[in-house]
Structure 1
């Protein structure tokens, strides 16, 4: 898992409320599309490790 994905995961786990891909993109200096792609990849990586999650790659990201 690369550093950006680790930051995304940390932010998702820290927040109690849904956060947007736009928020994460501004925070990390990348496009919201990049965030959505990273979320998809994170879901796959976590799935392989048998960690249940419900992150969605849409405009709102829940945890």
Structure 2
């Protein structure tokens, strides 16, 4: 199930707080044993681990 109401994640965001707020706002109450999966892309964005593609220069080996 997708959690509606999760805003665009920015560097430094508290993912647990964002997800918790979205669940509450949507009236969703996780039950014991429920799992919440988070995409690595979102975790990386919150950690500030993104790179602008136009700043990446491939090595000669990568271009082969």
Same fold at TM > 0.5: no
Q: TM-score, normalised by structure 1?
A: 0.33
By percentage of residues, which structure has more helix? 1
Q: Decide which structure has the larger Cα Rg and report it.
A: 2
